[in-house]
Amino acid sequence: MNKLFKTAALALLALSVAACSSGSTDGDWPVPETPISEMDYTPEMTRFALWAPTAEEVEVRLYTAGELEEVLPMQPAEACLWMLCKEGDLRGKEYTFRVKVGGEWLGETPGIFARAVTPNGERGVVLDLKRTDPEGWSEDQRPALHSAAEIAVYEMHYRDMTAHASAGVSHPGKYLGMAEHGTKSPDGLATALDHLVELGVSHVHLLPTADFGSIDETVENNTQYNWGYEPQHFNTPEGTYSTNPADPAARIRELKTLVQAMHKAGLRVVLDVVYNHTTSVERCGFELTVPGYYYRFNPDGSFANGSGCGNETASEKAMMRKFLVESLEYWVKEYHVDGFRFDLMAIHDIETMNLIRERLSAIDPTILLYGEGWAAMIPAYDNEQLAFKRYTHRMPGVAAFSDDIRNALRGTLDCSQGGFIHGVAGNKEGLKFGIAGGVEHSAVAHSEAAWCAEPTQHMSYVTCHDDHNLRDRLELLSPEANEEELLKMAKLAHVGVFTSQGLPFIFCGEEMYRSKLGEKNTYNMPDKYNAIDWGLKKQYGNLVEYVKGLITLRKAYPQFCLGKAELVREHLTFLENEEPSALGFRLTSPANSEVIYVLMNGEREATTFAVPAGDYTVLANGHEVSAEGLSMLKIGGEGISLQPIEALILRSK
Catalytic residues: 343, 372
Torsion over CA of 142, 143, 144 and 150, rounded to 10 degrees?
-120
Residue 641 amino acid letter: S
3-state SS, 407-426, equals: HHHHCCCCCCCCCHHHCCCC
Query: Which residue from 419, 441, 423, 421 is spatially nearest to 432, judged by alpha carbons?
Result: 441
The Cα 581–Cα 433 span in angstroms is 14
Query: Which residue from 587, 584, 624 is spatially nearest to 601, judged by alpha carbons?
Result: 584
Distances (CA, A) of 479 to 64, 475, 476, 513, 622: 60, 5, 6, 16, 21
H or E stretch at 156: strand 153-156
H or E stretch at 11: helix 2-21
The 10 Å Cβ neighbour count of residue 330 is 18
Question: Within 13 Å of residue 637, how many CA atoms lie on the same side as its CB?
Answer: 0
**E strand segments, 28-150:** 39-41, 45-51, 57-64, 67-73, 75-76, 81-87, 94-101, 104-105, 124-125
The string over 251-271, giving b where at least 16 C-beta atoms fall within 10 Å of a residue's C-beta and e elsewhere, is: bbbbbbbbbbbbbeeebbbbb
Pairing of strands 368-371, 339-342: parallel
Neighbour-count burial of 353, counting CB atoms closer than 10 A to its CB (0-12 exposed, 13-18 middle, 19+ buried): buried
Q: How far is CA 415 from its chain centroid?
A: 24
- Dmax over CA atoms of the chain, in Å, equals 103
In the beta sheet, which residues pair with residue 587?
572, 596
